[in-house]
Amino acid sequence: MAITATELLTADDLLRLDSQGTRGELIRGVFHEIMSSGLEHSKIAAKLTVLLGIFVMPRNLGTLATSDLGVWLERDPDTVREPDIAYFSTARLPPDVRITGYAEVPPDLVVEIVSPSDTQRAIHDKARMWLRYGVALVWVVQPDTRTVDVHAPGRAVVTHTGTDTLDGAAVLPGFTCTISDIFDT
């Protein structure tokens, strides 16, 4: 499938591109290719997925999904974004629901890990975008500074470092980990 600079794509077009080996997101119909982010990014995503999974899975709190998930946020033109990690509570996504395409409900928690190609403005714009669509909590993980910026609706961004405790707030009450847990191997 050839993509022209002015052609608006649909979520179905995006699925077809993915099946042909081209990964990306749609922002109001405009295709944005996603490239591999490297080992450090992947290790952080795996570590956080494990930490969240150890908390979420035994309690049957909901569903965790990783970066190949697409979340369909807008239609005509379509917006489909791909968080690095997403948590859906059972209230938002019942465990018996099988979805073979994109999720059409926003997650409760989104984790975005800053990639080498991301600008600070772009990643914080993406965090605010998630909040606008109903995500209750966004963690922006900054590998270069080994910090996590916490975004929540109606609140100022809070940056956690080193031995600070990151918590699940009202989204995952009782979940905690230290920032160093995310970055230490």
Residues 72-131: tens digit of each pLDDT: 999 999 999 999 999 999 999 998 888 888 999 999 999 999 998 889 999 999 999 999
Structural domain span for residue 115? 38-70+80-183
CA-CA distance, 59 to 43, in Å (whole number)? 25
What's the alpha-carbon Rg for the chain, to the nearest Å? 16
Residue 142 has pLDDT above 70, yes or no: yes
Is residue 128 situated within a structural domain?
yes
CA-CA distance, 99 to 174, in Å (whole number)? 28
In this structure, which amino acid lies at residue 7? E
Residue 2 has pLDDT above 60, yes or no: no
pLDDT band at 36 (very low <50, low <70, confident <90, very high): confident
For the chain, how many structural domains are there in total? 1
Tell me the whole-structure pTM to 2 decimals.
0.92
In this structure, which amino acid lies at residue 30? V
Is residue 91 situated within a structural domain?
yes
Is residue 1 situated within a structural domain?
no
Is residue 165 situated within a structural domain?
yes
Is residue 64 situated within a structural domain?
yes
